[in-house]
Amino acid sequence: WGRPYVVEKIGNYTFQVSLSTFFQVNPFQISNLYNLILDEVNPGDKVIDCYSGIGTISIWLCEKASEVLGLEENPRSYQYALVAKKRNKVHKVSFKKGAVESLLPTVLKNQYDVAVLDPSRIGLHASVCETILNHGPKKIVYVSCYPESLSRDLLKLKSAYSIRSIQTVDLFPRTTHLETVVVLERR
C-alpha cells in the first residue's frame, strides 16, 4: 500500500528514500555534517563524490562546486539520485552507476580538485585506495561511521596524503557511535 519511498528534506533540498537506499538517521545533524564537507570545497572546484547514494552530498555541494560527479553502485540509490537532481533543479551534478572501484580509475583522469569518500562500514576497496594514491586529487574529505575501517584506510593513504583535520559529528546521541570527517591533503 502506498508509494515505495518517503520524501526527506535537508535544507532546501528534498530526496526520495526507500528501504534499499541509505539516508543519515539524524535529520537534525545532517546539515552540520554536510556543511563540514562544503567548507572544504572552494568556489569553482570540481568534486567527485564516491559512494554518492541518493545524491544528498553531491547536491549539497552544488552551492560552491562548478561540477560534482557522484558514483553509486546501488541501482535504486542511483535512480533516486537522478530523481533528486531533477526535483531539486540542480544542473552542476551528474551521476554514474557502477562500483567505485570500477569507475574511479577512468573518472579521475578528469582532474578533480576534491574527492568525497563516504563508504559503507566496510570502508574503501583496496583498489580504490591504490587508485587515489596514484591519481587522486589534492584534497580528500573522508566521511566514516566506523573507526576500524577508517583507520585502516588512512594508514594506506598516508603515503601520499597528510591529515589536516579530524572532526566528529554526533549523529547517534546516547550511543558510543560518531560520524567522523577527516580532511586529507596531498603532500
Residues annotated as part of the active site: 145
N-term to C-term CA, the chain: 54
Strand order, beta sheet including 67-72: 93-97, 67-72, 46-50, 114-117, 139-144, 179-186, 161-169
CA distance 56 to 54: 6
Angle subtended at Cα 172 by Cα 168 and Cα 177, rounded to the nearest 5 degrees: 65
Cβ atoms within 10 Å, residue 112: 23
Structure-block grid coordinates of residue 73: 553502485
CA distance 149 to 120: 9
CA distance 23 to 55: 10
CA distances from 117 to 1, 6, 25, 55, 97 (A): 36, 25, 18, 13, 16
